[in-house]
Structure 1
Amino acid sequence: MTANPIYVAIDTSDLAAAEALARAVAPHVGGLKLGLQFFMAHGPDGVRRIQAFGLPIFLDVKLHDIGNTVAGAMTSLAPLGVAIVNVHASIGVEAMKAARAAIGPETAIIAVTVLTSFDDTDLAAIGVQARVRDQVAHFAAMARTAGLQGIVCSGAEAAATRAAWPDAMIVVPGVRPAGGELGDQKRVMTPHAAVDAGASILVVGRPITAATDPAAAAAAIAASL
């Protein structure tokens, strides 16, 4: 776990709002996650604007394509020097290897396993017969073979992943304080429980970004750890 494992999810196309949020939470968190909505609206220049606040950036673009295309995208992203970027594990080991080779060692590449909005029923609906925990373990093994730094999974799979892959970067979204609204998330865990389970980084969105006072909400979650 990093000194402060909380990364705030900035998922907005409003650059001024994103900068205001980053400014407010910067003293209380360990990093910032920039999602597709932000990146599609503002691209690399927007990333640089948020990097100006001095926190590590997790660029959450969830790349999913053939190896040549994913490697090309990584080459284009390399000059940004973000701390973390991700791909979908389902692109396969060879494409993940290509992604890893295309970007510098200062950027960690992690693989998305099973989205935290999915449960076993959702997996079955898209033709995956494995249970979530088994599918996550399978994808984690693929990511490790490909030379990636870790995976994205829910807190429910963090302990098993840590046991199987001790030095993995385990990024856990779907984090909710006790009693918090679940929204569209199904596999959730409290921040403290996720850290205890082995999470390296906690991605926290709406419990902070939708709060009346995001800075206070971020500070409270940090204090709970």
Structure 2
Amino acid sequence: MAPRTAPDPARRSERARSAVLAAAYELVSEVGFGRLTIEAIAARAGVGKQTIYRWWPSKGAVVFDAFLAANGRQDGDFSLPDSGDLGADLRIVLRLSADDLTDPTLDRTYRAINAEVLGDPAVQAEYRTRLLDPLLNVTRDRLRSAREAGQLAPDTDLDFAVELLYGPLYYRWLHQLGPVDHDFTDRLVDAVLRALNPPAAHGRSGA
């Protein structure tokens, strides 16, 4: 008779963690962030409530981990290409952002999170630290390298430039003012670069 293999605690823990993340992601899209409870997540995942609290300090932390996992990301896992063509690189990242926002499996969850961000400072802090700030930081770094290469005016305000790129995208998505598609994001990049570039840089930026 072959000896029995002892259960692998690490594998069991990973299965439980994955079940919690899946349950949190499903439930927040079904009931919204405000009505979501740790008890409901535990029940759907088939784990004890204390198991969740052992890994996450709050409901918000679980939800943000679930959202990052659904997007195939970890904390701070954002990057922008640097091909030397600023316009082409920005089109890539804004197209990806548009794809995320309009993905039917993500849209309701993301809207629920955004609603909570407006009224809950703790959720806002999680959102800024784990989702928004990493994206803005890598975009700012890419714009800085373009400014140093002479593709943007030397006095370009990088913080303002980042807001010019993402502000209209999220505004249109949030208020459902029109399609958030690649045509829109390409036109947005072109408009922002025309506003930021010195006249001599237009031909070099790919705008």
Q: TM-score range by the shorter chain?
A: under 0.3
Larger radius of gyration, structure 1 or 2? Answer: 2
TM-score normalised to structure 2 length: 0.27
TM-score normalised to structure 1 length: 0.25
Question: Which structure has greater helix proportion?
Answer: 2
Question: Which structure has greater strand proportion?
Answer: 1
